[in-house]
Chains A and B, each alone.
Chain A
């Protein structure tokens, strides 16, 4: 199979994670997959800096530049695969120190908010994703059009709606299931103390002294967007979306509003 990405002119981290997951999923099944890298040098360089081909067989991505020394990059966490909880713990430690270095005026609450997002969302993904590929995660900072840090992650598991229906079979629609999964104390694990992951991420974002944060989730045939401001969660909206294999999340946090 050849994926022709030569015409690609723009890519976001979540797209790159999904592309990487797609390639790896097929290669793990013995399928031959090759991606033709974008001819746009900036996009190809960005994909290389994100480490999209790291660990894959040579020739999986054709035409990517060799980035041996990325220097001071906007890529904070290149595409990383997590299969075990211990790897989440190790990433959490690394991420906290990394973001501590990016805190303005020693605002360590920002580092705590990012650590919380990595911990809770990646652990969810490793636990519920239940897929040999595990969880894919990456983080990047942006200066334009406004300053923000973006954490992207995803897995090729059953997806949140299907997972929720194992415990709550009345949740027929994917949008309803996704919205329900975000409520505090709601869990498909059957354990009363669980179901705090998403609310923990929102709570720390509220306390981070950043002006806004958003959590965007694509899973099944639904998309959910949660907007968090210092005064609380300002909106949760859902919409129908093309069916996604697994669960894909983007968490953004920054001092300027995104909308």
Chain B
């Protein structure tokens, strides 16, 4: 299943927005399947948004793949996951589709 963030905006700021979009991403997700999240077209995210959106997803048992993450977002996501002590190799987490 693939969830496109750019269908909801290009800039994401707050924890409530992260929670809302995490629930949206999970709404059509079948448990046991990989969840692909496309960051194509996303320009900026805050650490709080990233933590709220991705943190709980990464702690779930299903594999999450983040696609087409821009370099400046890549750094924020890595830092956010490190703060949560979530350690996933870049090759397992990030993918480029283009």
Could you tell me which A residues sit within 8 Å of B by CB distance? 85-86, 88-89, 91-93, 96-97, 100, 108-109, 111-112, 115-116, 118-120, 123, 184-185, 193, 196-197, 200, 203-204, 207
Contact = CB atoms under 8 A, between A and B. Distances in A.
B16 A85 contact: yes
B11 A96 contact: yes
B72 A89 contact: no
Contact of A196 (B13, B14, B47, B72): B47
B46 A116 contact: yes
B46 A120 contact: yes
Contacts of A111: 44
Given A88-B14, A96-B43, A193-B55, A119 B9 contact: no
Contacts of B12: 89, 92
Contacts of B75: 207
B72 A115 contact: no
7 contacts: A85-B14, A92-B11, A92-B44, A100-B43, A115-B44, A120-B47, A193-B83
Interface string B35-55: 000000001101111010001
Interface residues of B, number: 24
Contacts of A115: 11, 13, 44, 46
A109 B44 CA distance: 9
Nearest to B9: A93
Main secondary structure, interface of A, reads helix
A93 B51 contact: no
B79 interface: yes
A200 B77 CA distance: 12
A186 to B, nearest CB: 13
Contacts of B16: 85-86
Contacts of B46: 92, 115-116, 119-120, 123, 200
Given A85-B16, A109-B72, A196-B83, A120 B10 contact: no
